[in-house]
Amino acid sequence: MGAKSDRQPVIGMDLGGTKILAGIVAEDGKILGTAKRPTKPESGPAAIADRMARVAREAVEDAGLKMGDLAAIGTGVPGPLDPDEGVVLTAPNLAGWHDVPLAAMLTERLALPAFINNDVRLGTLGEFTLGAGHGASEMVGIFIGTGIGGGLILDGKLREGWRKTAGELGHMTMLPDGPVCGCGNRGCLEALASRTAIERDIAAGIKAGRTSMVPKLMEKDGRERLTSSVLAEALNKDDTLVCEVITRAQHYLGLAVASIVNLLDVERVILGGGVVQALGEPFLGPIREVAYQNFINKRRARDVRILPGELGDSAGLLGAATYARQRLAAQTANGQGHTTQRMCGEHLR
């Protein structure tokens, strides 16, 4: 590979259990081209790496560029990983992913420096540099969808933790005797307030004889699973069961936000993900109020801004692109490929 500059466009990629999304991102954060393909998680690591390389090339073509014009690729991956080694330790939504050297596999296929990190952590970085967190130096991101994940920005830097697992906010225990979470523990925030948890509680209510319009809405949309858009429609029509379940989820999320602010005293908390995007301010407002009520320090409480994300589905790929640019700049600066973090968004502010 020839010498690369962190001022060249980079590829930002978001690898999920259902889709692979790639974008070509300029130095100023502008997305020049995109491409998307289904993940086909059952196909295994090598086949998925091939698909990722194909999606990257399609995005480059969509941007009207050539691979030689790109500086690096950054990828957000679900699950625990080692970003310094570029290895995915495990990915629950991807079959057979254990100790997969994904960064090296992408470099081999694309002839570009490749960097990986947790997908939600990079979504937080995206919102920090280019979205609702811009201008802050202390921020937490919470993304609510099928599960709940988070990321921490402290002193202007993405905080990974010494074992590289900082930000697992969805697995804070909120109710010790609560429902079993996918991680095996009981009463995690994810088991109480994710879309999966909301779907479970609505289904339990219907099974117990409660009336709800949810089954008809799902049938109308041809859905087998409860989507955020179906939730939004039921909530807008004041479905009693849905309102009760959502209210309970909002309460736990508000308590979680308060606990995070009490611990870290951050300037902003950004809530993103499919549920927040679909339900909007009617969902976020009560979370905000519960949080403010439970701040231990009431002085200037409402100066702590609790906001929706601004970047939507682009948060992950923009964060991945920013991360790749930072890692490439750090390697260039120290000359020996070290992975020291630089200030988040240094090239974007």
Domain 10-119+312-334 and domain 132-308 have a common topology? yes
172 versus 331: which is more confidently predicted?
A: 172
Q: Specify the pTM.
A: 0.90
Q: Average per-residue pLDDT in the chain? A: 92
pLDDT in tens, 195-212: 999 999 999 999 999 999
- Res. 288 pLDDT band, cuts 50 70 90: very high
Query: 132-308, what's its fold?
Result: Nucleotidyltransferase; domain 5 (3.30.420)
pLDDT in tens, 264-273: 999 999 999 9
The set of residues, in sequence order, having a beta carbon less than 8 Å from that of 29 and lying 6+ positions away, is 129, 130, 318, 321, 322, 348
Q: Which CATH superfamily is domain 10-119+312-334 in?
A: ATPase, nucleotide binding domain (3.30.420.40)
Name the residue ranges covered by the structural domains of the chain.
10-119+312-334, 132-308
Give the DSSP per-residue string, 2-70: ----TTS-EEEEEE-SSEEEEEEE-TTS-EEEEEEEE--GGG-HHHHHHHHHHHHHHHHHHTT--GGG-
